[in-house]
Chains A and B, each alone.
Chain A
Amino acid sequence: MKRWFQSKSINTPSPVGAVLSYLALGFWALLILFPLYWLVVTSFKISSQVAEGPFYIPFVDFQPSLDAWKYILVGDLSNDTIRNFSNTLIVAPTSALIALVLGTTAAYALVRFEYRPRVGAIWTFIGCMALTIVTISLGVSWQVALVVSVTVFFILLQTIGRRFKRALGNNDIAFWMISQRMLPPVAVVIPIYILFQRLHLLDTYAALIITYVTSNLPIVIWLMRDYINNIPIELEECASIDGASRYRIFWSIVLPLAVPGLVATFLFVLVFTWNEYLLALFLSSAKVQTLPLTIVAQNATRGPQWWNMSVLILIMIVPVIVIAIILERYITRGLLIGAVKG
Chain B
Amino acid sequence: MNTNPQGPTQIGLGLEPHSYKIMKTQTEEPQPFRLHSVISTFADRMAGSVFILPTVLALLFLSIFPLIASLYVSLAKFDIAPGGFKLTFVGLDNYKKLFEGSEGIHFLGKFAPSTPLTWVVFGVVVIALAIFMARYLLNVRVSISGLMGRVLLSLGLGLITWMLVYTLWNEGRLGTASTTLVYVFVGIFFQFILGLSLAMLTVQRLPGRRFFRVIFLLPMMITPVGIAYMFRMLTDTSKGPFTPIWQAMGLSDFSWVNNAWGARTAILIGDVWQWTPFMFIVLVAALESQPVEPIEAATVDGANSWQIFQHITWPAILPVSMTLILIRLIEAFKIVDLPNVMTNGGPGTATQSLTYHAFINWRALNIGGSAAVAYMLLFLVTFFAMIFVNLIRQRTVETL
> Which residues of A are in contact with B by a Cβ distance under 8 Å?
10-13, 17-18, 21-22, 24-25, 28-29, 31-36, 38-39, 42, 50-54, 56, 102-103, 105-106, 108-118, 121-122, 129, 133, 157-158, 161-162, 167-168, 171, 173, 175, 177-188, 190-192, 194-195, 210-211, 213-215, 217-219, 221-223, 225-227, 229-230, 233, 236-237, 240-241, 243, 245-247, 249-250, 260-261, 263-264, 267-268, 271, 274-275, 277, 291-292, 295-296, 299, 304, 306, 309, 312-313, 316-317, 320-321, 324-325, 328-329, 331-337, 340
Contacts and interface: CB of A to CB of B under 8 A. Distances in A.
A260 B47 CA distance: 25
Interface string B215-256: 111111111111001111110001111111000000000000
B143 interface: no
Determine which residue in A12, A313, A337 has the highest number of CB atoms from chain B within 10 A of its CB, and name it.
A313
B362 A115 contact: no
Pick from B47, B48, B213, B214 the residue with the most CB of A within 10 Å: B47
A10 to B, nearest CB: 6
Nearest to A306: B233
Contacts of A240: 22-24
A246 B52 CA distance: 13
A53 B252 CA distance: 12
A38 B73 contact: no
B205 to A, nearest CB: 5
Contact of A192 (B18, B66, B355): B66
A153 to B, nearest CB: 10
10 A-B pairs closest in CB distance: A117-B14, A187-B374, A109-B51, A113-B17, A275-B223, A191-B69, A191-B66, A106-B55, A188-B66, A246-B47
B201 interface: yes
Contacts of A324: 214, 217, 221
Nearest to B363: A186
A28 B199 CA distance: 12
Nearest to A332: B288
A186 B327 contact: no
Interface in B254-310: 273, 278, 281-282, 284-286, 288-292, 295-296, 299
A71 B394 CA distance: 55
Nearest to A234: B22
A275 B224 contact: yes
B366 interface: no
B80 interface: no
Nearest to B393: A171
A223 B214 contact: no
B59 A214 contact: yes
Given A183-B378, A313-B223, A129 B319 contact: no
A227 B324 CA distance: 12
8 contacts: A25-B202, A33-B215, A34-B241, A117-B14, A179-B385, A226-B286, A304-B229, A328-B213
A114 B12 contact: no
Nearest to B23: A237
Contacts of A260: 285, 288-289
Given A118-B14, A186-B362, A214-B63, A334 B241 contact: no
B358 A184 contact: yes
Contacts of A13: 204-206
Contact of A177 (B22, B55, B224, B389): B55
B293 to A, nearest CB: 8
Contacts of A162: 12
Interface of B: 9, 11-26, 40, 43-44, 47-48, 50-52, 54-56, 58-59, 61-70, 73, 194, 197-198, 201-206, 210, 212-226, 229-234, 238-244, 273, 278, 281-282, 284-286, 288-292, 295-296, 299, 316, 319-320, 323, 326-327, 330-331, 333-334, 336-337, 354-355, 358-359, 362, 367, 370-371, 374-375, 377-378, 381-382, 385, 389, 394
Contacts of B331: 181
A325 B216 CA distance: 12
Nearest to B386: A175
A333 B296 CA distance: 14
B224 A277 contact: yes
